């Protein structure tokens, strides 16, 4: 079986790899702790904890939440509230205010929540409602992991729920889809983007029959649109789903007379076995559709889509590209993806068992025993990963989101603006397929990098490291003092080697001697570049390494020590290697 379990302790490199991929980033101490765990122990820590629900976002204008109780004239305008929601979500990714013992597990859940957002995406400017954005995010959180209050936590049930989610109804014009005038936008994307897809990218034959998308046909989109007809956005957020206890859309007409729902039988193509979806007579009000019968038809539709084996494979390919690597060939598709799909299906379409099996597997770490082309450093960090991961590693503290909400949102707004400059418009992907990096064949995550975007990435690091204001940025001297022994900190070469273990994904057999170099991925030339950047100032040193040792052990001129450390950290983090994980 391709996904054989790795049973030995992780060690620092594998621990860092797991924690960067499965969470929004670890601290040095967390890497050290998880290095002692086997993958099974690590996965249990990440996914076996009972986690608290997030504290509700606060409107600083009123000092209270608005997402549950609604807004009044005293609240901020909704455009501001949408930004507050995004700032609040940044705080969740940072595990702001969470018990340190639960921080990584909390972050792992938020990583899965964000993954779901990359698949069942949304666009802030189209939805244009802070409460819709919040409730959709909460919906994803309820279906992310098994330990929730929802009885049936699986991706298939989530797919049913998202069909009548207020944000999704607005995003893909489901609120405009009515009997006699079907709008096919959501039905099309439900098939092509969110569930069954169109097969393995790069292997598709040319289209010879217009309207045939290999795994579904135009007829299936048309009939699905009829199934999905008759729903509207509930601007009062009072129509509550009994399973999730979250607001959802409402049927046009009334609960007992869904007057805009197409109540006829829907005949699908041979791709779906020529099935017919029709209302259950027991759920009708005479001959009239009801909310219950319309929901039952949606359930029939989603069940029919998930009955196709390709649906599980397509979703597992999305999981693999997000957490492991973008490239999937037919061999990988027929082995690893097939294994993941089997687990996905047999578990009742749950994400957590698939993720746990993946994160415990040898494949996740090495791809294959003895393989030169392993998975370490195989993904370019998104701007979000770079921002959040760096803040988490250095434990940069944000203002309290409840007691200092204004200051908290000022900081998170700065963060989202910086993320945008680096090429990711947070909650504003270019189209309904989501952020290009997670789906756009063949470039995928390489879309994060351009000359301008890379410059902005380096500027973000420079600002964080060189920040002159007290309480802002990273205190590099204190960080080194708190995290490394004096023997390591006072030795320039040892310090670089140790930092590389935590900052850079490929860090085996590090040496400064070209004659002793190997193919571990980080060359002696690169190590010497870091060393030169570290010790180049002040120029008067005749023995730069000895002078560093003396200054560190005799902290008289701390300005020089600080500047040298800033030069080192800037060199290592403003590097191509730091952009990878």
Query: What does DSSP assign to residue 368?
Result: S
How far is Cα 86 from Cα 541, in angstroms, rounded to an integer?
49
Q: Among the residues of 236-395, which ranges form H helices?
A: 291-306, 309-323, 330-332, 338-346, 351-360, 362-366, 383-393
The residue among 368, 393, 359 whose CA lies nearest residue 504 is: 393
469's tokens? 């204001």
Number of helices (H) and strands (E), helices first, in the chain?
A: 26, 4
List the pLDDT tens digit at each of the 581 positions of the chain: 579 999 999 999 999 999 999 999 999 999 999 999 999 999 999 999 999 999 999 999 999 999 999 999 999 999 999 999 999 999 999 999 999 999 999 999 999 999 999 999 999 999 999 999 999 999 999 999 986 555 678 999 999 999 999 999 999 999 999 999 999 999 999 999 999 999 998 888 877 788 999 999 999 999 999 999 999 999 999 999 999 999 999 999 999 999 999 999 999 999 999 999 999 999 999 999 999 999 999 999 999 999 999 999 999 999 999 999 999 999 999 999 999 999 999 999 999 999 999 999 999 998 654 445 568 999 999 999 999 999 999 999 999 999 999 999 999 999 999 999 999 999 999 999 999 999 999 999 999 999 999 999 999 999 999 976 666 789 999 999 999 999 999 999 999 999 999 999 988 889 999 988 877 678 999 999 999 999 987 667 789 999 999 999 998 889 999 999 999 999 999 999 999 99
Give the SS3 label for residue 288.
strand
Rounded to the nearest 10 degrees, the angle between the axes of helix 291-306 and helix 309-323 is 80
Q: Is 421 exposed, middle or buried (0-12, 13-18, 19+ CB in 10 A)?
A: middle
518: alpha, beta or left, given left = phi > 0 and alpha = psi -120 to 50? beta
How far is Cα 418 from Cα 267, in angstroms, rounded to an integer?
50
Q: How is 499-548 classified by DSSP, letter by letter?
A: HHHHH-S--SS--S-GGG--SSSS-HHHHHHHHHHHH-SSTT-SSHHHHH
| pLDDT recorded at residue 2 | 78
How far is Cα 179 from Cα 261, in angstroms, rounded to an integer?
5
Enumerate the β-bridge partners of residue 251. Answer: 231
Decide if 354 contacts 343 (C-beta within 8 A): yes
| pLDDT recorded at residue 468 | 63
Give the pTM: 0.96
| pLDDT recorded at residue 303 | 98
| pLDDT recorded at residue 149 | 52
């Amino acid at each position: 079986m391709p996904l054989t379990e790795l049973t030995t302790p992780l060690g620092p490199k594998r621990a860092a790899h797991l924690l960067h991929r499965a969470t929004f980033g670890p601290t040095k101490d967390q890497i050290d702790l998880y290095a002692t765990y086997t993958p099974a122990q690590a996965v249990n820590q990440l996914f076996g904890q009972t986690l608290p629900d997030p504290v509700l976002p606060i409107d600083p204008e009123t000092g209270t939440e608005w997402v549950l109780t609604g807004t009044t004239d005293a609240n901020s305008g909704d455009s501001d509230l949408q930004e507050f929601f995004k700032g609040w979500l940044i705080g969740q990714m940072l595990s702001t205010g969470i018990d340190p013992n639960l921080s990584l597990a909390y972050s792992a859940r938020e990583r899965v929540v964000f993954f779901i957002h990359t698949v069942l995406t949304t666009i802030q400017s189209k939805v244009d409602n802070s409460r819709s954005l919040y409730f959709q995010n909460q919906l994803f959180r309820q279906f992310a992991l098994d330990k929730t209050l929802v009885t049936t936590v699986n991706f298939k049930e989530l797919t049913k729920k998202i069909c009548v989610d207020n944000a999704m109804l607005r995003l893909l014009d489901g609120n405009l889809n009515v009997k006699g005038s079907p709008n096919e936008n959501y039905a099309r994307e439900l098939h092509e983007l969110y569930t069954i897809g169109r097969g393995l990218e790069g292997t598709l034959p040319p289209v010879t029959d217009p309207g045939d998308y290999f795994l579904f046909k135009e007829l299936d989109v048309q009939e699905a649109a009829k199934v999905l007809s008759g729903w509207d956005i509930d601007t009062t957020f009072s129509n509550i789903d009994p399973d999730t206890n979250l607001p959802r859309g409402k049927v046009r007409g009334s609960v007992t007379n869904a007057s805009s729902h197409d109540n006829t039988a829907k005949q699908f193509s041979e791709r779906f076995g020529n099935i017919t979806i029709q209302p259950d007579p027991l759920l009708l009000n005479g001959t009239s559709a009801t909310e219950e019968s319309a929901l039952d038809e949606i359930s029939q539709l989603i069940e029919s889509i998930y009955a196709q084996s390709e649906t599980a494979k397509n979703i597992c390919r999305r999981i693999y590209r997000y957490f492991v690597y973008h490239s999937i060939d037919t061999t990988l598709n027929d082995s690893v993806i097939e294994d993941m799909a089997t687990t996905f299906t047999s578990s009742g379409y749950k994400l957590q068992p698939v993720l746990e099996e993946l994160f415990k597997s040898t494949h996740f770490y090495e791809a294959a025993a003895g393989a030169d082309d392993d998975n370490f450093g195989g993904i370019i960090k998104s701007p979000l990963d770079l921002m959040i991961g760096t803040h988490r590693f250095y434990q940069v503290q944000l203002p309290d989101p409840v007691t200092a909400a204004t200051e908290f949102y000022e900081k998170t707004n700065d963060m989202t603006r910086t993320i945008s400059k680096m090429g990711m418009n947070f909650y504003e992907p270019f189209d309904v397929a989501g952020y290009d990096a997670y789906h756009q064949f063949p470039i995928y995550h390489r879309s994060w990098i351009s000359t301008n975007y890379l410059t902005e990435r380096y500027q973000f690091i420079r600002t964080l490291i060189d920040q002159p204001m007290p309480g802002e940025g990273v205190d590099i001297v204190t960080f080194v003092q708190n995290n490394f022994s004096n023997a390591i900190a006072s030795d320039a070469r040892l310090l670089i080697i140790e930092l590389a273990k935590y900052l850079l994904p490929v860090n085996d057999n590090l040496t400064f001697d070209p004659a002793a170099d190997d193919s571990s991925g980080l060359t002696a030339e690169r190590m010497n570049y870091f060393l030169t950047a570290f010790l180049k100032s002040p120029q008067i040193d005749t023995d730069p390494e000895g002078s560093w040792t003396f200054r560190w052990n005799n902290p008289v001129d701390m300005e020089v020590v600080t500047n040298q450390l800033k030069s080192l950290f800037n060199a290592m983090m403003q590097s191509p290697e730091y952009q990878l994980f």
